[in-house]
Structure 1
């Protein structure tokens, strides 16, 4: 089975960029140590600092689902509740 690629687009409220960025950065070392995580890379749009993108690769969808249910993701959601305008997540499979 091919690995799972996740592209997550997070748009912070304009007055919450620093807080959302700090909370997103907290996820990186914990997630990179999780079983099945191949890479977990955070990006910030250079022309729109409120737009963040996580580019992730996982060994399987089951392992990614375990990540999505992890305590640190729940803590992130609580810390950023009402501070994010939009969150769009795409599950993708590499073709070549």
Structure 2
């Protein structure tokens, strides 16, 4: 079964960039220790510092779905409510 790649895009409100970045950074060590997590890399745009992107690889969609329902992700969502202008993601299948 091919691995699942997730591109998660987060656009912080201009006055909440540092706060959102700090909250996103908290997710990294916890998520990297989760079953099925192959890669969980956070990026920040060089021209628009309010734009963040996680590049993720998971062993399966099921294990990624488990991640999406973890307490630490729920805590992030609660902490950043009102600080994120837009969130969107892409589920992609690794080809080569």
User: TM-score when scaled to structure 1?
Assistant: 0.99
Q: Give the aligned partner of residue 95 of structure 1.
A: 95
Unaligned runs of 5+ in 2: none
Q: Secondary structure at the match of 2:43?
A: strand
Question: 1:28 deviation in Å?
Answer: 0.1
For residues 68 and 26 of structure 1, what CA distance do their matches in structure 2 show?
15
Q: Give the aligned partner of residue 81 of structure 2.
A: 81
For residues 26 and 94 of structure 1, what CA distance do their matches in structure 2 show?
27
Q: Which runs of 4+ in 1 moved over 3 A?
A: none
1:15 is aligned to 2:11? no
Unaligned runs of 5+ in 1: none
Question: 1:51 deviation in Å?
Answer: 0.2
CA RMSD of aligned residues (A): 0.4
User: TM-score when scaled to structure 2?
Assistant: 0.99
**How many residue pairs were aligned?**
96
Q: Secondary structure at the match of 2:62?
A: helix
